[in-house]
Amino acid sequence: MRLKNKVALITGAAGDIGRATVLRFAEEGAFVILSDINEKGCKSVLKEVEALGAKGDIILADVTKEEQLVSMFKQIKADYNRLDILVNIAGGDYENDASLDEINYEKMSFNIDVNLKSCILCSREASKIMMDQMSGKIVNMSSLTWRGSPMQYSYSAAKGGVYAFTRSLALTLGLYNINVNGLAPSLIEVEVIKKGMDAETWAALKEDCSSRYPMGRVGQPIDVANCALFLASEESSFITGQIIEVSGGARL
């Protein structure tokens, strides 16, 4: 088991990618701490974890609230006295399909809060624990939109920030034996995206992307989870400051 006896925190654990990551880590022996604002979703995923014969915990937190994040990491320190892995998955595009002249200050601010600031704050708090133990793995969630994406201005800016922050953090934490890397997925088939459009629009988007991606399909949550697992394991011990595009070759 690649993560045997490791304590791993996954934010956004109730979402499709979060769920896949939690279960993948649990399969590999990790004690998984699920964090989200969706308590019902977390409880459902934790039942799946326990059905695998693995163990976990739930710590609810709103990643846009600094005091809740600080409290979460204090609880982890008090309850488990260690944190081996942090996976920052919580996020989403809350100003999607907005033209340049429609950029909204509140939506823009929320996109930056939930996607970028949460990543910075969680990494800051996790680093305090990991630096003391002289080991750790941090995996951040960027997006292929870090390259730029029309009609996704604030989201792509936030994910570009995650890219830059990941590299900066890696430069700082390497001497503490802490690896910091990121994932940049292309279109992943998740319910939150599918529910945001009608079935016909989703089918057209999926077909269009599948036709353009060299691998001939859009991504699945397990594709992201498997890459997160690699970066969280000792197999990636000499990899840091990298953003891996989980994209089926999109934008090559």
Active site residue 213: no
Catalytic residue among 155, 163, 176, 213: 155
Of the candidates 185, 208, 217, the one whose C-alpha atom is nearest the C-alpha of residue 93 is: 185
Q: Which residues are catalytic?
A: 155
